[in-house]
Amino acid sequence: MALERTLVIVKPDGVQRGLVGPIISRFEARGLKIVGMKLMQIDRDLAARHYAVHEGKPFYAGLIDYITSSPVVVMVLEGPGAIDIARRTMGATRPAEAQPGTIRADFGLEVGRNLVHGSDGPETARCEIDLYFTEDELISWPRADDRWVYE
């Protein structure tokens, strides 16, 4: 079984609305395992590095202001196909286009307040994980029910 890791951020709106628990439970219910997690305040330098790909776009300044406006919960999830599973659990970027049963469809209304961020591919996941976690902050551990989740 090849395990994959992905970064997920419960954004300021998710934290402020008290949705951290319900959001995390969606990922755990899918079978993804938390191997790193912390509550933190993202500073402007870290935000700029995280969103460097969007620099120069009209929404960039607002994005930086938003992600630094309140604490966030940052976590690394692990499992087979973790990136795709996490993204499907989150739903489409625009909540109005997200499928019912996804985090964004069930809890969101607008793209600028879509509650969660997730890595979009293996290379991005590696880079994003390295931005937020050191290797010793990530814990590989055997979960008691892994044999009931993984073949």
Total residue length of the chain: 151
Over the stretch 83-92, which tens digit does the pLDDT of each residue have? 999 999 999 9
Report pLDDT for 151.
85
User: Residue 117's beta-bridge partner residues?
Assistant: 9
Residue-wise pLDDT tens digits, 110-133: 999 999 999 999 999 999 999 999
Residue 116 bridge partners (DSSP): 10
Write the CA distances from 146 to 19, 80, 87, 89, 150, integer angstroms. 26, 11, 21, 19, 6
Q: Which fold has domain 4-149?
A: Alpha-Beta Plaits (3.30.70)
**With DSSP H G I counted as helix, E B as strand and the rest as coil, what are the percentages for the chain, rounded to 5?**
50, 15, 35
Predicted TM-score of the model (pTM):
0.95
Query: How confident is the model at residue 19, as a pLDDT?
Result: 98
Helix (H, G, I), strand (E, B) or coil at 1: coil
Q: Catalytic amino acids?
A: 117
Which residues of the chain are modeled with pLDDT < 50? none
Question: How far is 29 from 119, CA to CA, in rounded Å?
Answer: 19
Domain definitions of the chain by residue range: 4-149
pLDDT of residue 2: 82
